[in-house]
Each structure stands twice: as C-alpha cells, then as structure tokens.
Structure 1
Amino acid sequence: MDRQSKRPPAETIWKRCLLVLDPEKCLPECSKYLNEAAWSCLIAASAVEALPLLRKHNIRVAVAFISKSNQGHLAKDISAIQAQCPALHWIAVSDCTLDKSSAWILSANFIDYYHRPFDWQRFADTLGHAWGMAQLSPSATSKPAANRDMLPAIKGDHPLLQALRTQLHKFGQSDETVLLSGETGSGKGLCAKWLHYLSERRNGPFVTVNCGALPAGLIHSTLFGHEKGAFTDADKRYIGHLEQADGGTLFLDEIADLPLDLQVNLLHFLDDKQILRIGSNKPITVNCRLLFASHQDLENAIDEGRFREDLYHRINVLRLHVPSLRQYSDEVMLLAEQFIQSNAENEIVQSFSDDACCAMKHYDWPGNVRELRNRIRRASVMSDDGIITASLLGLDHVKKHALCHDLASRRDELDAEVLLKAISDHKHNISAAARSLNISRATFYRLLKKCRIES
C-alpha cells in the first residue's frame, strides 16, 4: 500500500499543530512534507518566539534541530519552554554526528532522535505516536479546564444575565455559527471565549481576529495565508488565521468592517470549508467553528451596501445579543467587586467608598463593562489608602448629580410627611391645614400634587 492510499480523505483530517524549534532555520522542508500528513508546522527560532505560539495553539509535540554550535542555547530554550508547557513531547533532529557530550541533552528532553536526511513517512508516524501519548498526559487533559477557570464568570441575578447564561450553554453544545450583537465593550469577546470552552472544540485553538484593525492590503493574507514569494516581502510561508484555528474556533470581531471582496471569500469558505493561500492553487481543508460579532446594525449595513445579504443569512444561524451594562445597572457593584478582586497589580486596594458606589450606580456607562473595568484598573493604580473614590474613578460629576437627586428625593419625602400630618391633625380640613403651616391654600394644593398625595 503506497503513501497516498494510507492517508484518509482530506475532509476527515484535522491538522495538529507542531512546534519546530529551529534556531538555525535548517528545517524549511518540514512544512512542505508534514502538511500532507495533517500537521501544521509553527516554526520558532527561540523560546521567546515559541512561547506565544504555545499559548495560542493546541501544541502537544515539538521538534528541535540540534547542531554542535547551538546545544547550549537550545538547552536553555527547551528548559524555558518546558517550564511553561511540561506536557510537550520532544523529538530531536540533527544533520551531524553528535558526540557523547551531547547525550545528556537527548536523554533529558527527547523521546526520539532522527538524523537527516530521513524517511518522512517514518518521521510522521513517530510524530503521530508522540501526539497520542501527549493526549494521554494528565496535564494535557486538565489544561482546557484551567483555561476555562481563568475566564471571568458571568454573574448576576438579573433576568437578562440569566437568559444570557442559558443561551451560552445551549449554543456551546452546537457547532453552528453564532452571530453576537451588542454595544462596544458589552462583553461579546468574553461570550465568544465561553462558547469555545463550552464546546467539544475546547481542546483546539481559539483564534481572535478584529476585522476593523486589519491593514487594508493584508486582510486576505492575514485570514487565508500566503506562500513564499506570493508577493513582494513574502519571504516565507504564512499560515492564515483560518488555518491556525483548524480543530478549534475562529472569532471574527467587527465583521461589518470586512471589505466586500473578502466577504465573498468568507462565504465560499463557509460553504465548502476550504481555503486557498495566496500564491497557491492547492485547496486546503480547514475544520473550524466560526463566531462573528459586530456592534453595528448589520441590517442597516446591508441597506447601505456595506454588507452582503447572503453572508448575513449564512452567519446568522444562532443569534446571541449581549445586553448593555445600563440594562442591568443593579448588578454594577457585583461586577466592580469582581474586577477589584481580580486586580493583581495593586493588592492594597480592597473596597469602594460610598461616593464611588453612588456614582457607579447612577452612571450610564456608555463604554459598558470594558469602561467599568478600565476605570477600576486606573483607580486601583492611583489609590494610596486602599479605597477607590468617585474622584479616582473620574466620576465626580456623576457623584454630584446623584447627590442632588438623592437630596431632592429626601426633601419630597419630608414634605409628604409634614403635609400628611397637617391633614390628619385638622381632620382633612385643607384650609386649616394650610394655615397651620403658614402657607396659602393654593400652595398647599401645589405641594400635594408634587408629593402625589390625593386630598
């Protein structure tokens, strides 16, 4: 049986991410050969480059190129990586004969060793075995739960928040696309993360792309990737965000800002689950779930010709609306306490002053949860005595307005008590009650109306 016949159909392949630690850039063929065996190679020259990749992707297996000149640096890099990702299974590759002094680095870190040139099929089989063993590691199976535990909980008893939690759990069990709507800063990104970690794809990568922040000339390349030499400055192959999310979830934020020509390409991907890197004519099957978000009204964007109607109907399978903070303002202190407890930079800060609580409850929060979090972070840094005040939050004007409102309410309550006592003392004789208070009958009636007291 030849190599091609043993490989499963393309649509059944979920690419596994492979870290290639290559300080000397000696393994450019890894991507070429291993991509056909369902591996996505992420190449790094050092631990500094490798650690962000490990945090972003579901990587269980790593390959390291060893030469006589890089052993010292490589040992330090592997130690730094292992400290952060102890579940990694390492395979060594070298193109020179290593002496006995190199044996320690092999025995201490690697489960297998290959010498170049080597049989790519055998190498791929070894990688697959290492991946399977890594999946059985306790640290590998516990990692998704740890990531989920790091997410802020969506707390609160308001009916809107209860409904939001219910929808998140329902949608998390599905693999359909979800369109998240809501104002800027309301928490759409957090909800997208929860949808990922509540799904069967929780072991895969979670990739976020802000469509509004992508450079106009690089949007296609950023999403779909490109081959080396595809255009000026394309000095190496780039794996796009769609391919990076293979086996996991891709969250496209501010989808309304995606240009119309890219909307067409995205629609095609949603239909056939295949991409074409720029400079390539070979389709690549990608298996990922897509989540979309926008603070804009997509229906208006369709009417204005800025968004394709067919794409809108394709992504609007499950709709999740995230409420604005002012819609559940009674829960603002619960959120504020949650942010202050999670603030690790200034452990002295422990509580809010009364004027801060009053100001936060009466503020409209146009920036929603993001604004609340950022104001608390800034105030935490500025506080000297462990108390966050309205002034530190930048809400002095709200405090004064709220205080005037509270005093006016209190005055109305006092007036009502006085009026009711006068009416009772004079057996509902309004003229006598007005004289006892040294006010005219007309003024007495006006006060009754203001205090909503029926005479």
Structure 2
Amino acid sequence: MLVLDPEQCLPECSEELKQAAWNCVKAVSAAEALVLLQKYELRVAIAFISDTNQTALAKEIAIIQAEYPSLHWIAVTDSALEQHCSWLSAANFVDYYHRPFDWNRFADTLGHAWGMAQLTPSKGGKGPAKVLTTIKGEHPLLQQLRQRLHKFSQSDETVLLSGETGSGKGLCAKTLHSLSKRHEGPFITVNCGALPTGLIHSTLFGHEKGAFTDADKRYIGHLEQAHGGTLFLDEIADLPLDLQVNLLHFLDDKHIMRIGGNAPIKVDCRLLFASHQDLEAAIDEGRFREDLYHRINVLRLHVPSLRQYSDEVMLLAEQFLLEHSDNCTQFHFSDEARCAMKHYNWPGNVRELRNRIRRAMVLTDDCIITAQLLGLDSLTANRTSQDLARCRAEHEAEVLLKAISDHKHNISAAARSLNISRATFYRLLKKCQIKVP
C-alpha cells in the first residue's frame, strides 16, 4: 500500500497498519511516489488530506493517477468531505475516512479498497510501471511528448528523435520500446559516433569466423542482436556514408549479410534514430544521404530542452534525488539550492541536472544538497545572462582540452575516452577553435 503523506501524519497509524498485515511504503510527493510505484506492485493508496494541503495534493494525486490509473485511493481527511474541493470525489477515490481513527471501521475501509482493486486487472508486472518511463511533469510540452510517445509506440515505423544533447532522447527511445508490443524483446543501443573505425560494418551486421584477420569466431552484430526487439541508433549523423547505404538496404528488405557469410538473414527489429545535429544541414554538406534521411524520418519526435519547461525542474530534481538515495538516507535540497536550480539555464539539460545531483549526494556530509555542492553558487550569478551557445561552447572546450591533456595529445585515445569517433573529435576541435599540434 502506498501512503501519500506530505504532512508526516503516518506515525500515528503505522504500527496499527503493520499489525493488520498491511505493507506500507511512504511518499511525501508525487515524484517520490512514482519511483516507489516502479519498484513495488501496489494496488491501494491512502492520501492524507487537510484544509491546508488539499490544493497542492490534488495536483500530486493527478500526476500519479495519470500514470497509474488502476491504483485505488482512500482519502483520509480532517473534516467533513463536503468542506473539500469537488476533486475529492468518487472519480478519484473509492472510499474516504475521517480522523481520528477507529481501527475496526478503518479496516473495513481498507478492505473495500482492496476488494475493488482485485476486481480491476493490473497492467502486468509491477502494475502500470511500464506505462511511462520518460520525463515526468505537467508542462504542455511534456504532456505532448508523452502523448506522442504513447501513439508512436503502437506503430512499428521508424522514429527520428531530435533535440539537444542531454535532453532525454535515449530515455524516450527506451519508453517507445517499453510501451510497444516488442517490450519483452531486447533493447539494443548503439552510439554511432563511438563505433570503432574499420569495424563499424562488422559491429552492426556481424561477421563469420575467418572473415578477416582476427575474426577467430562468429560475431552476431547489433542488428541481429535486436531481433524481436528494438535497435536504437544514437548520433546517426556520425555513421559513415558507406554504412548509410547498407543501413538503407536493411530498412528496405529487413535482411542482413554477415561479413564472410553466403546467405541473407532475415531480422525483425524496429529501428529508432536520434541526432542532436541538423540532419538537413548535414545533407547539404554531403555528410548524410538524403534518401536515408527520408527513410528514417517517418515519425518525428522532438525532445524539448530543460529550459523550455524550467518550472518542472524541482519535480525532476526530487525524482532524481530519490532514485539515487538508499533506503536509510534522506537527502534534502537547501532553499538556496532550490533557488539556484530554478534560475540556472541548464545547457546540459536533464543529463546535467541528474549528474550535478549525483555528485552533490557524494560530496555532502549532512545529507543537505546546497548550491555550492551542485556547483551553481557562482554559475547562477554569472551565467544566467550569458548566451546559451557560448556556455555550451565553453563547456565543450574544457572537456576537449582536458581529454587532450590527460592523454598527452594522443587524439585517438582522447576521442575514445569521450566515446566519440576521431572524426567527431576533430569536428568539435574546429567548432571550439582549438588548435592542436
């Protein structure tokens, strides 16, 4: 049973619930509840509602119900039901109860909710946990993103995901797979920019034993590994032109030929593609095939940047904080940290938010996440008025220079350390106007 208890009312009834054989998990917010619902199969929920928290709690419950519609709710109130808003109705709750507790009566209320839950089929596994795994929030852009993910997941057509680096394209690809009829099959991710030069064809399509030097055994390529499931090709713009031709042929006939093989192999997998680059510009520059672009751009999904829905940053932050916490440690954001996160531009998007929080959780000594630990104490004041492109360029230049220094100007090694190709590394050097000997 889930207990949504933002005002910490649970201690007064926790022991009685245990004695009645109810296993309870507690949440103080929607973000915390959603993480718990992904971990446990819960069918009944209690919401502690007061005159002071009802407005905020209505939004929290709506967020949870949107993703877990089969959860059966009981409203526990301080006063008469009629004194609360109209949202507190049978459409949202199967029963309600007024404090103080009469445990015999409350046991009947809990039993009613449990009985109703048994009459409602659970949506597989841990309830509706697989209904949504992407970025949570109520901003219209995120609502539209979720709607399209649900719609696109019902098709087997290719999807091209666009958006800035770190915006969550990989997470959206996983969501498309988990919501699809292929969800029990494999989900294979390939970063095209990090594929080893000279072995790209073998990595994707596979090879037979003895097909070339060092091919001492058969290798099943990523396309074949994804049979029955989904293959996600990230940074597709970094795929060499000759491999783009082979990929186009596979999309047309769904057959592959391993290097050294003598018979085509039929592969049944769905392909998802992503790129933070402008593919239309890449076509004009001769770096990307126009026919392949039109073949993969059947369904288009743009993932918004974090600054476009910055009002949701704290919901995401609380979610990440809970995801990376253990059961014994309760981390909290300081007021200064909350203010800093709300006013920061987040050039690295959701990935930067998550990574800053994880680093701060390691560094803190008292479980309080401060703006200083997040690295936002000076950035908030100095960077909010800067041009976003310049911020990103400065960050990229720092990363490139550090990689070059760490690997003693060995460009190949520096590129491998960043999981990108040598060609991509040189392109970034040119973009950041960094000259290397």
Match 2:219 to one of 217, 238, 246: 238
Q: Does structure 2 conserve the Cα–Cα contact (< 8 Å) formed by 1:298 and 1:307?
A: yes
Tell me which amino acid in the other structure corresponds to 1:221: S
**Paired position in structure 1 for 2:238:** 257
1:156 paired residue among 126, 137, 141: 137
Aligned 8 A contact 1:144 1:203 in 2 = no
Q: Report the CA distance between 1:146 and its aligned residue.
A: 8.3
Offset of 1:216 from its aligned partner? 1.1
Structure-1 separation of matches of 2:235 and 2:123: 32
State the alpha-carbon separation in 2 of the partners of residues 258 and 401 from structure 1: 38
Name the amino acid aligned to 2:224: E
Change (3 A) 1:222 1:143: farther
- In structure 1, which of residues 374, 377, 384 is the aligned counterpart of residue 358 of structure 2? 377
Q: CA deviation at 1:147?
A: 11
1:403 and 1:174 map into 2 onto residues whose CA distance is 41
Q: 1:314 to 1:402 in 2, by over 3 A?
A: closer
Structure 1: distance between partners of 2:208 and 2:342: 54
Number of residue pairs the alignment of both structures matches: 264
Cα distance in 1 for partners of 2:384, 2:145 equals 33
Question: Of 296, 303, 306, which residue of structure 2 is paired with 1:322?
Answer: 303
Q: CA offsets, 1:297-332, max 9 Å, x none? A: 000000000000000000000000000000001100
**Which has the greater radius of gyration?**
1
Q: Which residue does 1:25 correspond to in 2?
A: none
**What is the correspondence of 1:40-439 to structure 2 with a 5 Å cutoff?**
149=130, 152-344=133-325, 347-400=328-381
Shift of 1:399: 4.2
CA, structure 1 residues 152+203, in 2 after alignment: closer, same or farther (shift >3 Å)? Answer: closer
The CA deviation at 1:154 is 2.5
Three-state SS of the structure 2 residue aligned to 1:396 is: coil
Helix, strand or coil at the partner of 1:282: coil
CA deviation digits over 1:192-224, x for unaligned, max 9? 001001111111111110000101111100000
Alignment partners' CA distance in 2, 1:159 and 1:288: 32
Offset at residue 403 of structure 1 (A): 11
Indicate the residue corresponding to 1:447 in structure 2. none
Q: Deviations over 1:76-101 (max 9, x none)?
A: xxxxxxxxxxxxxxxxxxxxxxxxxx
Give identity over the alignment, percent: 78
Give how far 1:142 is off.
Answer: 9.4
CA distance in 1, matches of 2:189, 2:285: 27
**Distance in 2 separating the partners of 1:338 and 1:226:** 43
Alpha-carbon displacement from aligned partner over 1:344-364 (angstroms, at most 9, x marks no partner): 359534210111111111111
The aligned amino acid for 1:363 is Y
Code of the aligned partner of 2:375: G
TM-score w.r.t. length of structure 1: 0.55
Quick one: distance in 2 between partners of 1:166 and 1:358? 31
CA deviation vs aligned residue, 1:144-193 (integer Å, no higher than 9, x gap): 76896497443111110000000000000011000000000000000000
Shift of 1:343: 0.7
Cα distance between partner residues in 2 of 1:280 and 1:147: 44
Q: Tell me, yes or no, if the aligned pair for 1:172 and 1:196 is still in contact at 8 Å.
A: yes
* Cα separation, partners in 2 of 1:276 and 1:196, compared to 1, 3 Å: same
Which amino acid is the alignment partner of residue 293 of structure 1? A
Kept in 2: contact 1:148–1:197 (CA 8 A): no
Equivalent residue letter for 2:329: I
Amino acid aligned to 2:232: F
- Matched-pair contact (CA < 8 Å) for 1:193–1:206: yes
Give the 3 Å change call, closer, same or farther, for CA 224–299 of structure 1 in structure 2. Answer: same
What is the alpha-carbon distance in structure 2 between the residues aligned to residue 305 and residue 164 of structure 1? 31
Amino acid at match of 1:159: P
Q: Secondary structure in 2 aligned to 1:154?
A: coil
Shift of 1:382: 0.6
- CA distance in 2: counterparts of 1:307 and 1:279, whole angstroms: 27
Equivalent-residue separation in structure 1 for 2:191 and 2:331 (angstroms): 34
Alignment deviations for residues 423-442 of structure 1 (CA, whole Å, 9 cap, x no partner): xxxxxxxxxxxxxxxxxxxx
> How much does 1:277 deviate?
0.2
The letter of the residue matching 1:206 is F
Tell whether the 8 Å contact from 2:134 to 2:171 is kept in structure 1 after alignment. no
SS of corresponding position for 2:341 = helix
**Which residue matches 2:31?**
none
Residue 398 of structure 1 deviates from its aligned partner by 3.5
The answer to whether the 8 A contact 2:343-2:384 is kept is no
Distance in 2, matches of 1:244 and 1:143, equals 25
Q: How far apart in 2 are the matches of 1:246 and 1:147?
A: 26
One-letter identity of the residue aligned with 1:264: V
**Structure 1: unaligned runs, 5 residues or longer:** 1-140, 405-455
Aligned-residue offset at 1:263? 0.1
Aligned alpha-carbon RMSD (Å): 2.3
Deviation at 1:397, TM superposition (A): 1.2
AA paired with 1:364? N
Larger RCO: 1 or 2 (CA < 8 Å, sep 6+)? 2
